[in-house]
Structure 1
Amino acid sequence: MKKILITGSNGLLGQKLVSLLTTTADFDIIATARGANRLPQTGNYTYHSLDITDRNQVQELIGKVKPDYIIHTAAMTNVDQCESEKEACWQLNVNAVEYLAEASKKNGNYLLHLSTDFIFDGQNGPYDETAEASPLSFYGESKLAAEQVLLNSSISWAIARTVLVYGIAHDMSRSNIILWVKKSLESQKAIQVVDDQWRTPTLAEDLAMGCYLLVKHEAEGIYNISGKDMLTPYQMALQTADYFNLDKSFINRADSSTFTQPAKRPARTGFIIDKARERVGYNPHSFEEGIDVLARQIQKGASL
């Protein structure tokens, strides 16, 4: 049985990957994250605490478990935090990838790395895999530098670029635009939502499936793995209100200049996903279908 090692298994994507792989695929799964295991399920995988910024820990664990595949989901993804904590951001987003690539070369495994639309400046979205990167933020710079690590390596690798991932973690530990809009409107609280930034929002379950398909096909190179609908957050908020039959009059259209944020955001990103559709059979939900997935999980009490 082939082995898959997942970094960042306590995170949203990590949780969805472990859930997917333990129920639909025949793999020996090694889940890793910093600190204690926070996964809801207990069976069909082994867990190891791993600090990916510690080169020795990375070398030791990969040398010990000898995975056939690594899916690297762990990263510092808070864009503003990356702007203020640049050293920590670089360690998590770039140095860790260097350590994983180095260990993968010794071990001979395939490495799938998660990247982002924030490597682009948002002038010409939606983007395909050949578009020229030009990040506006330190977060974007760090993720682009991580891509370069793989491009310059001699290992077997793939990069899955994604956009605005949303979903529900089993412990409800993080919010997303759907939960935020639903909660605000149910409380009859007016909200300001930007209408001048365009994205292709990605359901976490779709991203997990995209990662699985890339591994299954041992696809190499860069792949866009995102949602298929190009929307502004304002449009996402309206769709959410419609789905839950809530009062849209509390949703106020705003532009990004309304909000003061340390890191600059690209205006129009979003991805063209034809390559992933054609080569590995990736077929994501629409945003409306994604709302329905979350709604059913909310009804179950997010016991995922």
Structure 2
Amino acid sequence: MKILITGSNGLLGQKLVSLISGNEALQLIATSRGENRLPTGDYVYESMDITDSAEVDRVISKHAPDAVINTAAMTQVDQCETEKEACRSLNVDAVKYMVEACRKAGSFFLHLSTDFIFDGEDGPYDEEAEANPLSFYGHSKLDSEALVKESGISWAIARTVLVYGTAHDMSRSNIILWVKNNLEKGNPLRVVDDQWRTPTLAEDLAQGCLLIVEKKAEGVYNISGKELLTPYDMAMKTCDFYGLDKSLVSRVNASTFSQPAKRPAKTGFIITKAETELGYKPHSFEEGMKILSNQLMVK
């Protein structure tokens, strides 16, 4: 099976490269904008700007993959609010180009989406819940979902929540590293305790995506962790894991911080469908911290 992924330099893209290139039954074409920032391995790399329709068509037509996994997007919620044109270009227009290229190549298309399509009034959510985005980012992802659903091609959508993990070049932080690095320096932290999420280990999300593609399982799937936690809960668990000083962490309301984009209060996902139909089995948050910690020791 030949799989092409977009956004291979990103966190999820990196985990997919590692997972797929290690499988002898799979051929991988990794694509991202600019140079490959990952070690070379048993895969082909192609530079591809997803906002360039001709380039998308050329690369997908050239390789004619059995499946395309689109991990590329503008995901910084506040940046999307202040740079709406760029957000629309990356999160909506680019998806239109990929859908068209997949139609021509006969490729299965897996698109990544988010819990931010919901308003947070009634979480955790299943796949049938009604969307109501609060931010421009959420609207862009919901619009891209509609494009995929109405495309007439073979498709799936993997929705996820608050992805954490370690990037190859340590270019990405996450709540665990943020808490660990600051408390080790003795820096006090204010952490929100009135927003709830089901945090997702990047390796788990990659595994969920691969399960969808291998089965060509059409439709929407929630791929996240199982535990409903606040950022404050995650900070406390990080303190317990690393033996850090909890007295440095203050719990605050989200209203303490002034941010351009509005966040949903309580999202999180019900993942029963992915568990039963795909055999998806996510790690606990503690298990995820252990995996992350082991990776940090290797770096």
**2:25 corresponds to:** 26
Deviates further, 56-65 or 225-234 = 56-65
Matches for 1:131-280 after TM superposition, within 5 Å: 131-280=129-278
**Cα offset, 1:27, TM superposition:** 1.1
Q: What's the secondary structure of 1:124's corresponding residue? A: coil
Q: Distance in 2 between matches of 1:35 and 1:63?
A: 19
Listed as ranges, the matches of 1:56-205 within 5 Å are: 56-205=54-203
Q: Which amino acid aligns with 1:11?
A: G
**Other structure's SS at 1:24 match:** coil
| Aligned-partner Cα distance in 1 for 2:21–2:104 | 27
Matches of 1:107 and 1:245, distance apart in 2: 52
Distance 2:115 2:180 in 1: 26
Residue 230 of structure 1 aligns to a residue whose secondary structure is: coil
Q: Which runs of 5+ in 2 are unaligned?
A: none
Distance 1:26 1:247 in 2: 47
How far does the alpha carbon of each residue in 1:214-258 deviate from its partner, in whole angstroms, 9 at most, with x for none?
011110000000011100000000000000011111010010000
State the Cα distance separating 1:52 from its structure 2 match: 0.3
Q: Note the alpha carbon deviations across 1:39-58, whole angstroms, 9 max, x for none.
A: 1x312100000000011111
Amino acid at match of 1:64: K
- CA–CA distance in structure 1, aligned partners of residues 286 and 37 of structure 2: 29
Equivalent AA in structure 2 for residue 232 of structure 1: T
Distance 2:233 2:251 in 1: 9
Partner-residue secondary structure (3-state), 1:37: coil
| CA distance in structure 1 between the aligned counterparts of 2:256 and 2:228, rounded to whole angstroms | 22
The residue aligned with 1:6 is 5
One-letter amino acid matched to 1:74: A
* C-alpha distance after superposition, 1:137-158 (max 9, x if no partner): 0000000000000111110000
Which secondary structure state, in structure 1, belongs to the residue aligned with residue 22 of structure 2? Answer: helix
Aligned-residue RMSD, C-alpha: 0.6
CA drift of 1:24 comes to 3.3
| Structure 1 stretches of 4+ moved >4 Å | none
Q: How far 1:25 moved relative to its partner?
A: 5.1
| Alpha-carbon distance in 1 for matches of 2:22, 2:242 | 30
Determine what percentage of the aligned residue pairs are the same residue: 65
Instruction: Encode CA deviations 1:186-227: one digit per residue, 9 max, x unaligned.
Output: 111110000000000000000000000001111000000001
CA distance in 1, matches of 2:24, 2:250: 44
Corresponding pairs, count? 299
